[in-house]
Structure 1
Amino acid sequence: MSDMNVKNVKRVDSLDYLRGIAAFGIMIYHCFTWGFGGFSPDSFMGKWGIYGVSIFYILSGLTLHYVYFDNMNFTPRDLKKFFLKRFFRIYPLLWLTIILTIILNQKMPSLPGLLLNLTGAFGVLKWHSYIGVGVWSIGNELVFYLFFPVFIFLSKKSKFLFFCLSAILLLIFLYFAFFKMDASLSLTDNEQWKMYVNPLNQVFLFLSGYLMGMFFRRYMFSKFWTISILLLSLLVFILYTPVSSNLSAGINRIILSTLSFLICLSFYKSTLQVPVFIDKVLKMLGEASYSIYLLHPIVWQLLYIANERLSLKLSMTTCVALTIVISTIVGYFNHKYFESFFVRLGKKVSQILAPDMPHGKVKYVQVK
């Protein structure tokens, strides 16, 4: 019989910090792009705007491994519990974003397109036909959830097959980077964007987070190592000059993805204590990151419409600043009252279907 007592898994605050920083950085990237034309590919924000999403994927794989590896087996009971919780975590805000986007755009999509988006099936069948800024990445995430139980099953039952699958996904990742993505074209090119948002182009990032949890879960790093890894990876990330404007093609993809992995690793193993105020702010951003990520384009569009129709004559700088502030506030309250309600509901439903059972503890080794 499998155990599924995930309620006692201790939250890793540092991962919330990074998740919040990534979401906030992507919001800044989008707002400045919409307001002032964006950032150059060799700037820090130009790179963060693309690889902030990669960090989300790595953190997703890592977090799911951390929460579920000891508590989940490839059984109907565990699979039902996992997918129910994921459904209540993802779909309510996804539906809200899609509905608000349709209302603001005043354009009804085709019935098949609407059904693909509302069911999340677009991630598998037509990943570039999404409704709402950023929704493409949620479609990718839903595809990763289909891979995740397979990762759990193979890594527990057959390490050989698991590493064979890992090698295949790595080769697919490299195939997209060096053969499907064109270094001479930017991601603004429609065909390049379709290639980029393909979940097969991104799934290895999710797997790398899972592998991080698998190989490093039993180790505790000293502050020297975590700070060193973070500072060095950030320094290289900032100073690295892309060999082409397409940050997701060729060697750019390999170097920037590796640096994203190292940044996640440094936060995962961090034991650094931050001041209480900063801790609360970063935790708030982390908890509200999903809302901030999906809702800031809605806030921007509402401000744009209000500015035009009410003749407010707000400067672009004011619109950018208001979007950032309002999105953060809306994200916080949306998480507290909307997201959290459905998360609790999902836990109740899954608990009825499969009550939690106790499980063992993990031992750790100190890395000096």
Structure 2
Amino acid sequence: MIIDKEKAKHRAAGLDLFRVVAAVMVLLFHCNIHHGNDFGALTGFVSMGAVFMTAFFMLSGFVLFLTYRERDLLKNDALKNFYLKRIFGIFPLYLIVAALYVVTLGQESAFQNLVLLPIEVLGLQSVFSTLFPVSHNGGTWFISCLLFAYLAFPLMQEVVKQMSTRAKWIVLAICTAILFWSPLVVHTFKTDSIYSNPFFRGLEFFIGVLLCSLPIRAGIAKILATWKVFVAEAVLLVAGISVAVRLNVFVGNYMLYDWIVIPLFAFMIITLTGLKSPRLLGSAVLRYASAASYAFFLAQTFNTEIENWLFAVCGIQNNVLQITLSVSLCTVIAVALHELVEKPCAEMLKKKL
């Protein structure tokens, strides 16, 4: 049992790093699109930082299967506890952020907010693609997609458990092909964006589940689980996206970049799962940052508006200073949300369970 726990800690440490990187990259992406911040040679890559939402959904599916693979979630108590953890972990912070936004920054009328209320409370906004720019949904759409994925996960898990390895590879190929091809349909026929569509984000989540369930040969896993391989994967990711942006290949069609990011994110997750690093394992800062990553994502809902006011009032035009303040502000808001909302809710959940 000691060996199993140690392996679990190493896996968690590597995946914590991946989660934190995804959250930070989305923030830097927002700095670029909202303030035109320059990142030198990496500007093209950062300008497509929205692709890290794909990393987030893949990682979510992978981690959930890794956590619950030995449990039968279709049993009554197990199913109830699973959903309670998701409810306590997601809804309190989400509802507080949504309410704060409506009160402080919302542009909708009282009647419009009343009409939206049941949709927002239930997390159904991602079903309505045109609600993305309305109210806080440009920052909280991913929660709606995640809720649908979590709702389906117990069934996903049981189905995957009963698949043969060959069937898993086939289903993985089909899911990936759908994600590769669907953005071409959007581009060709000018349909609504599928960026915040729960079906396509659910496929990314399901790919994470399948990836975790696939047996990886010990020899291959050992080769992949090194810092050198991770650096090589990161370089390929940056180079692939940067070259595509330089060639103006569907820039702004973030889902079309799944051709590049899904394979590389998959390899990165496998690499970081097997990576044994005492530094990562012993990093309290990394553990805390990972625990607060959900709050960090939600903090970005307020970041742009506060930054616009702050930069204007203080006359801040320096590129580096703007980026530094953006990261610092988002971190402060995230820590406040994590300490004042997430931690108390976690304690309440422990008592209830």
Please tell me the TM-score bracket, short chain as reference. Answer: 0.7 to 0.9
CA distance in 2, matches of 1:303, 1:42: 20
Aligned position for 2:183: 177
8 Å contact kept, 1:21–1:285: no
1:288 is displaced (CA, Å) by 1.2
Q: 1:46 maps to what in 2?
A: 47
- Say whether the 8 Å CA contact 2:13–2:281 is kept in structure 1: no
**Alpha-carbon shift at residue 22 of structure 1 (Å):** 1.3
2:248 matched to 1:245? no
Q: Judge conservation of contact 1:127–1:198 (CA < 8 Å) in 2.
A: yes
CA contact (8 A) 2:60 2:208 kept: yes
2:350 is paired with a residue whose SS is helix
Normalization by structure 1: what TM-score? Answer: 0.78
Structure 1 position 144, deviation (Å) = 0.8
Distance 1:36 1:140 in 2: 28
Secondary structure at the aligned position of 1:284 is classed as helix
Cα distance in 2 for partners of 1:288, 1:72 equals: 28
Q: Provide the aligned length of Structure 1 versus Structure 2.
A: 330
AA at the equivalent of 1:290: Y
Are the counterparts in 2 of residues 284 and 332 from structure 1 also a CA contact under 8 Å? no
Which whole-Å CA distance do the structure 2 matches of 1:233 and 1:34 have between them?
A: 28
Match of 2:332 in 1: 329
Distance 1:272 1:331, change over 3 A: same
The separation in 2 between residues aligned to 1:161 and 1:143, in whole angstroms, is 27
| SS of 2:131 mapped into structure 1 | coil
Which structure 2 residues correspond to residues 289-328 of structure 1 after superposition, within 5 A?
A: 289-305=293-309, 311-315=313-317, 317=319, 318-328=321-331
Q: Where in structure 2 are the equivalents of 1:219-368 lying within 5 Å?
A: 221-222=221-222, 225-240=225-240, 241-242=243-244, 243-248=249-254, 250=256, 252-274=257-279, 279-305=283-309, 311-315=313-317, 317=319, 318-349=321-352, 351=353
Cα distance between partner residues in 2 of 1:121 and 1:227:
40
| Aligned-partner residue type, residue 261 of structure 2 | L
Q: In 2 relative to 1, CA 294–74 (structure 1 residues): closer, same or farther, beyond 3 Å?
A: same
Shift of the alpha carbon at 1:177?
3.0
Partner Cα separation in structure 2 for residue 45 and residue 348 of structure 1: 42
- Residue 117 of structure 1 corresponds to 120
TM-score with structure 2 setting the length: 0.81
Decide whether aligned partners of structure 1 residues 276 and 257 sit closer, same or farther in structure 2, where only a CA change above 3 A counts.
closer
2:211 is paired with a residue whose SS is helix
* C-alpha spacing 1:35/1:145, structure 2 compared with 1 (3 Å): same
Percent identity over paired residues: 20
Between the aligned partners of 1:56 and 1:342, the Cα distance in structure 2 is 23
CA distance 1:85–1:218, shift in 2 (3 Å): farther
- 1:79 and 1:181 mapped to 2: Cα distance? 40
Per the alignment, residue 126 of structure 1 pairs with: 128
The structure where helix makes up a greater share of residues is 2
The one-letter amino acid paired with 2:74 is F
Preserved contact between residue 32 and residue 47 of structure 2 (Cα < 8 Å): no
Number of the residue aligned with 2:196: 197
Equivalent pair of 1:154/1:161 in contact (CA under 8 Å): no
Q: CA RMSD in A?
A: 3.3
Displacement of 1:276 after TM fit?
8.4
Structure 1: state its 5+ residue gaps: 1-8, 186-190, 352-368
Contact 1:128 1:197 in 2 (8 A): no
- Aligned runs of 1:84-233 on 2, under 5 Å? 84-108=84-108, 109-123=112-126, 125-130=127-132, 131-132=135-136, 133-157=138-162, 159=164, 163=168, 169-182=175-188, 192=192, 194-216=193-215, 221-222=221-222, 225-233=225-233
Name the CA shift for 1:222/1:272 in 2 (closer, same or farther; >3 Å): farther
State the shift of 1:155 in Å.
2.3
> Aligned partners of 2:277 and 2:106: how far apart in 1?
48
Change (3 A) 1:42 1:302: closer
For residue 43 of structure 1, give the secondary structure of its aligned residue in structure 2: helix
User: What SS does structure 1 have at the residue aligned with 2:194?
Assistant: helix
CA distance in 1, matches of 2:155, 2:253: 30
Q: 1:165 Cα shift?
A: 6.0
- Structure 1, 134-143 or 74-83: larger mean CA deviation: 74-83
Q: CA deviation at 1:307?
A: 5.7
Matched-pair contact (CA < 8 Å) for 1:128–1:198: no
Provide the C-alpha distance between the structure 1 equivalents of 2:307 and 2:255, rounded to a whole number of angstroms: 35
Decide whether the 8 Å contact of 2:225 with 2:273 is kept in 1: no
C-alpha displacement at 1:247, in angstroms? 4.5
Contact 1:32 1:320 in 2 (8 A): no
Quote the Cα distance in structure 1 between the aligned partners of 2:166 and 2:102: 44
